[in-house]
Amino acid sequence: MKFQNKLTLLFFFIGTIGLIFFHAAIFYFVSDFNFEDFFKRLQARARLAAEININPNGKSAVTQEMRNRYLEKMEDEQDFIIKVDTLKRMQFERPINLPENFYKTIVSKGNARYNKDNRFYYGQLFGTKSGNYIVVVAASDPSGFHELETLRKVLLLVFAVAVLLTYIAGRVFSHYSVMPLRNLIRNVQNISANNLHLRLEELKGNDEMAELVLTFNNMLNRLETAFSTQNNFVSNASHELKTPLAIIIAEIQIMLAQQKMAPDTEASARVILSHAEKLGHIITSLLGLAQTGFDGKKQNWQKIRIDELIMTVADSVKKIDPESIIQIDFSSLPADESELYTEGNVNLLQLALSNILGNACKYSNNQPVEIKLRFENRRIVIAITDHGIGIPENEQQHIFEPFFRASNTSDFEGHGIGLPLTLNIIRLHKGTIGIRSEEQIGTEIKIILPVSNEILISS
């Protein structure tokens, strides 16, 4: 999930939680106010009921008339007067089936409240000369209940609209919050090995984005220095190492061409020549390995037809090792010839395929080696299979490491540079390489390359 979406969801989640608490608080306080107001009205009626029904006097009739004329009649209003014989034993009639705790509270605290299913009860204890009385007033509040129901619907509607607006606000907030980061990513993507001199535009202020830009620029300074050092080394090493070595080889060959050398001297010279040539191969491979570490845009790219490249590689391997047996399988070629083309450096790809095919022939003691070309999911697949010594399972993860050689290859010449070089070349061409091997049965290496119109390389 992208950071912008995460930020939007976080904003939406926090905003929604806040809205839930806000609307719940509104509903709670409004309902609490309504209940409190209604109970106060019941309390006033309880006092009037006590004045009218307990110890009636001349004013009772006036009070009753005023109550009937000026006091609003509540829905299903009822008055209950209960004579209390003794407070300690709670011995008195219960004309209404209410929880016992309701009556206990009246006796202990002087008054109590209770409501159930929009039916409200208020009870109060009155002490007179003639004894103690409990007055209970009951009534319904349909208008208040209707008001709360209307408020609940309004709050739900407002909540739904507010949630939608919160999500929209979260999208806007995350968009503008992530915009500097998005611009930074776009600018970083434009920087490659060809233009390491470019730098990100520094931002004003001391926030995290400005610090990130500064960190990237410092990293680019280090990368530019490292790439420049490597480039200078590869350029100079080609001359500084290969030229003296070529002179040594030439001088030894001249010495060997003479007929006046003693046998021991000639044997020593041939050993020197052999090791010098081996050193030359190692230097060439190392330089190739270093050069393939550069960005592919520095190479000479062109369209390459894979089937033709495979035939060229097979011919070159046969010239090096005439006893090799190479079987080429083109039975699965696509109907559209344009799907056989990839883009890259033909010399590098030829070197990569030659390394794999040469290893297959060498480590199989010239048993038949099969090259199969097919097309899968807009990708070119080259499978090279041999029936040789295979690679021990616990060593297969190391075969692409420079100078690594499997434990069962001691009888074969090699330097452990071919496969790492091949891996760099295939990666340079936006491809992948995989291996499947079993000891004493054989090895299969698959190279997968994109079709030419799927590689985007600017000139």
Condensed to tens digits (0 to 9), the pLDDT of residues 52-101 reads 777 665 555 555 666 655 566 778 888 888 888 776 767 778 888 888 89
pLDDT band at residue 24 under the 50/70/90 scheme: very high
Determine how many CB atoms are found less than 10 A away from the CB of residue 124: 20
pLDDT band at residue 406 under the 50/70/90 scheme: confident
pLDDT at residue number 344 = 85
Burial 318-346, CB ≥16 within 10 A → b, else e: eeeeeebebeeeeeeeeeeeebbbbbbbb
Tell me the percentage of the chain whose pLDDT exceeds 90: 24
pLDDT at residue number 269 = 84
Digit-coded pLDDT (tens) for 359-369: 899 888 889 99
Task: Give the integer Cα–Cα distance in Å for 176 and 173.
Answer: 6
Taking the CA of residue 338 as centre, how many other CA atoms within 13 Å lie in the half-sphere pointing to its CB? 3
Taking the CA of residue 345 as centre, how many other CA atoms within 13 Å lie in the half-sphere pointing to its CB? 20
| pTM of the predicted model as reported, rounded to 2 decimal places | 0.50
As its CATH architecture, domain 296-454 has: 2-Layer Sandwich (3.30)
Question: What sign has the CA pseudo-torsion 269, 274, 278, 284?
Answer: positive
Task: Give the integer Cα–Cα distance in Å for 60 and 142.
Answer: 30
Three-state SS for 88?
coil
List C-alpha distances in Å: 213 to 4, 183, 185, 206, 216: 19, 11, 10, 11, 5
Q: Which residues neighbour 318 within 8 Å (Cβ) at sequence distance 6 or greater?
A: 324, 326
Determine how many CB atoms are found less than 10 A away from the CB of residue 42: 22
Structure tokens at 275: 């090791």
What average pLDDT does this structure show over 241-268? 82
pLDDT at residue number 457 = 41
